[in-house]
Amino acid sequence: MTLEQQHVVVVGGSSGIGLGVARAALEQGASVTLVSRSSEKLARAAAGLGDPRRVRTHTADATQEDDLRRLFEELAPVNHVVVTTVEAHYLPIRQMDFALARRVIDSKLMAVFHVAKHARIQPGGSLTFTTGIASVRPSPNGSVIAAVNGGIESAIRAFALELAPVRVNALSPGWIDTPIWDSLAGDAKAQRFEQQARRLPVGRIGTAADVGHAAVFLMSNGFTTGDVLRVDGGHPLV
């Protein structure tokens, strides 16, 4: 299977991993619709991709079911959907702010359910969701992210049965150099990346392009469903 002439929707496609997925899909001949809450970020992302004939944008909030319902009602036929949204907060359990925890859950786990419910996929198409290394290697203060990632990995197996023959899979990135780290680590980002790169068997931090190439595999391989593809540089081994 090829992505030539295919329509790929990337929910969370205005930056980071989502933008890497969009770029990889374009390289394989697909047309892409970027979806995000921010019209300004979408405009910058589309301009950066540089192919207005094959790049469209749509403003929607993945935490809102009605937004996702309208999105898929308005779009042209869709072959593949990739969801990379997350609002990340690291919260110690003894001081848990459950309002922030719900925002993490809504931005990632509930977004998955909204897409699975409303996306209408053409024959041979797929849904790909994003989990993360925290499902198997959680960090201190990371219980909410770990639970959400683990929940998605369980849900995709159920979705793969219920939505068949649409294929449903998940990508599980490790440490990836994306803009979210600017807020999570601030001035310590470079030092933390250097320390982590020395630990990983591959000897480096991942890129959005690494995850984009993995997403292309899940979209184009017609015999893979209900699975989690880990793109983490061997992180579970160390």
**In degrees, to the nearest 5, what angle opens at C-alpha 151 toward C-alphas 221 and 100?**
125
Rounded average pLDDT over 55-72: 97
pLDDT at 227: 98
Give the start-to-end residue ranges of the domains of the chain: 7-178+209-229
Which CATH class for the 7-178+209-229 domain? Answer: alpha beta
Rounded average pLDDT over 114-143: 96
pLDDT at 164: 98
Q: What is the mean pLDDT of the chain?
A: 95
pLDDT at 162 over 90: yes
- % of the chain at pLDDT higher than 70: 100
Confirm if 176 and 210 have CB atoms less than 8 A apart.
yes
pLDDT at 18: 97
Rounded average pLDDT over 40-47: 96
Task: Give the whole-angstrom CA distance, residue 222 versus residue 86.
Answer: 27
Residue 127 CB partners (closer than 8 Å, separation 6+): 80, 81, 83, 115, 116, 119, 121, 159, 163, 166, 167, 168, 169
Q: In the structure, what pLDDT confidence band is assigned to residue 188 with cuts at 50, 70 and 90?
A: confident
pLDDT tens across 168-187, in order?
Answer: 999 999 999 988 777 777 88
Burial 59-84 (b: 16+ CB within 10 A, else e): bbbbbebebbeebbeebeebbbbbbb
Read off the pTM.
0.95
Residue 50 CB partners (closer than 8 Å, separation 6+): none
